[in-house]
A and B are shown apart, each in its own frame.
Chain A
């Protein structure tokens, strides 16, 4: 019987040598005359074990990792094809605690299937949501999504169903579904993993959104820093078109829907929805004032659903299993699951999908296993470059939109970056301002000029020039940026800056900086 060996083609695995491992396995198969085939799957999201090789056995899939190309011969000697024991053995994949503790709804297939096999997709529950959608009334689809409690996973947490309803109600000759795949926040990679590991789920989610709102055209705007995601999505769209999932008759229904993949051009601010629309239209990625809302007057002036990758990729399972099924996970007003991305200086970095409600401490200490360097955790930045730095004393904060807001932070796109005790929080605060200055679109003054003045003022504090006066000035400046900026770039940059100042005041004291400078 032919054996199936899985070697991930996810960027994270490739960055750690998966291509060489796949080639080595291929030559071992040939040299030993074994009846086996290699499937390039997505990543299971256990990045400290990548490249993670899996083998299909009678008992289920068995994993080995992290595998280097020069481990491959010894793996075959140890009987890899029948799940033989080796020093890199991880046992049955499903039993690895990091995976076993998860609730994988949106990421149900990622790492399991061949990303570009539509048959694989279907045999693992794919297209069932879309099949229900083509048979349903648009208003009922919107109601299901609203009832599920799904909120925008890009960071803002706006109820997805309400956004869809506005577009459904809008009257226009043309409407658009726009997928925001400009995942620029450091510490986040969930969108990339979906696009590289299960592209059809995003296509299915967008098609459902199209049918629900009367939109016939979709765009996926992917950042240019993700060449593998762009390539996989492009191929997946071609396959979906050929197989009738996209086109003039979606799954044989009278509904038309097609998708085009677009590449960004290296501007962080284009992750902001109005800036993204300008960029796609071929303009400078400058933020637009709201109103008008994109749902009324969005891309090319037409009603537009603009959603994050994870929001759209969560829709198929909601349609398939029903609003109640999804809503039953989570806490408070944060319903369903959230793919938490654990990154930076952490022992067990990767993707952990779970219902809302885990505490930050559980995520960092228990799931993440503490720092990679083995030193104490000093700070954790949650929600990307615009997210607050949390000290250990706030580790009881549950992962929930409202709970994080109450602690002057944000869940954002659910990326968590861990720093050990060597981190200098004044430097991190300065970087937040510097990054805002580099990436500001320049439309509004608080962001454009405030960020540059912020860098200068923090430099003065570091140099010991009137530190107290300048700290008060930074605080005042942050207040202006927070309430005076047009979008989240200028408006949220104060989160990392003020959280650094408030939670780590010692790093801003002249004595500390003098010692650090020596």
Chain B
């Protein structure tokens, strides 16, 4: 359930206060909001615009430019599967197909039970232990069918 409007505004202000003293505070604020809410709520944007004295359009432009910022809550787990060249050379296409099949969802989708969101990612710097993925910030290398099944079982718990 999403928090009520006024609660979002006050929690947004608290995050802004933490970072507003930095040079170029907008990205740190957005990271902070994502940490706080799990996504960047629409109601936060005018609060940021006012605090930084920039337009709503500018804030919207920044939020939508970067792949990291979510506009909606993700699943309880987030699985990012690398699809860049080094992983391609080690069969990341097959890895993606297998995990989509195991979870019953495609990229940029969340399972109906809200357990996991699946996303492509372009390089985790694990190119010498490809194919690679990241589950909730934990890195996993040399993916094979066993590891994928293990991941699929773990995220469903």
Contacts and interface: CB of A to CB of B under 8 A. Distances in A.
A19 to B, nearest CB: 9
A183 B125 contact: yes
Interface in B8-29: 22-28
Interface in A150-187: 183-187
Contact of B31 (A50, A265, A284, A423): A265
A283 B67 CA distance: 14
A188 B125 contact: yes
Interface in B112-147: 121-130, 132, 134, 137-142
Contacts of A300: 23-24
Contact of A186 (B22, B25, B52, B122): B122
A186 B134 CA distance: 15
Interface stretch (A137-145, A221-229, A237-245): A221-229
B89 interface: yes
A266 B68 contact: yes
B42 interface: no
A346 B22 CA distance: 44
Interface string B26-60: 11101100000000000000000000100000100
B61 A284 contact: yes
A423 B89 contact: yes
A189 B128 contact: yes
Interface in A1-29: 11-12, 14-16
Residue from B52, B61, B88, B121 with most neighbouring chain A CB atoms (10 Å): B88
What is the interface residue range for chain A against chain B?
35 or more
A225 B123 contact: yes
Contact of B129 (A267, A349, A423): A349
Given A184-B122, A417-B127, A12 B141 contact: yes
A192 interface: yes
Given A265-B30, A417-B89, A189 B67 contact: no
A311 interface: no
Contacts of A341: 127-128
A283 B129 contact: no
Given A343-B86, A385-B84, A385-B85, A265 B128 contact: no
Given A265-B69, A343-B86, A344-B86, A12 B123 contact: no
Contact of B139 (A11, A187, A286, A345): A11
A189 B24 contact: no
B62 interface: yes
Residue from B23, B30, B89, B142 with most neighbouring chain A CB atoms (10 Å): B89
Contacts of B140: 15
Nearest to A226: B125
B123 A50 contact: no
Residue from A226, A267, A283, A423 with most neighbouring chain B CB atoms (10 Å): A283
A48 B121 contact: no
Given A265-B68, A285-B66, A189 B127 contact: yes
A228 B125 CA distance: 11
B74 interface: no
A435 B122 contact: yes
Contacts of A247: none
A187 B93 CA distance: 17
Interface in A227-265: 227-228, 260, 262-265
Contacts of A184: 122-123
B99 interface: no
A192 B84 CA distance: 17
B89 A419 contact: yes
B96 interface: no
Given A284-B61, A344-B86, A225 B125 contact: yes
B87 interface: yes
B128 A279 contact: no
Interface in A375-403: 381, 384-385
B66 to A, nearest CB: 4
Contacts of A282: 24-27, 52, 62
Contacts of A439: 122
B125 A192 contact: yes
Contacts of B69: 265
A224 B85 contact: no
A260 B24 CA distance: 12
Interface string A355-377: 00000000000000000100000
A431 B88 contact: yes
B151 interface: no
A189 B62 contact: no
A437 interface: no
Nearest to A496: B85
A415 interface: yes
B125 A372 contact: no
Nearest to B22: A260
B27 A263 contact: yes
A435 to B, nearest CB: 7
Nearest to A385: B85
A283 B137 CA distance: 25
A133 interface: no
A420 B84 CA distance: 16
A420 B141 CA distance: 20
A12 B65 contact: no
A441 B130 CA distance: 28
When A and B form their complex, which 10 residue pairs have the shortest distance between CB atoms, in order from nearest? A282-B26, A349-B128, A15-B141, A186-B84, A343-B127, A266-B67, A265-B66, A344-B89, A47-B128, A266-B68
13 contacts: A15-B140, A16-B141, A225-B125, A280-B27, A282-B26, A282-B62, A284-B65, A344-B90, A344-B130, A349-B129, A417-B89, A419-B89, A428-B88
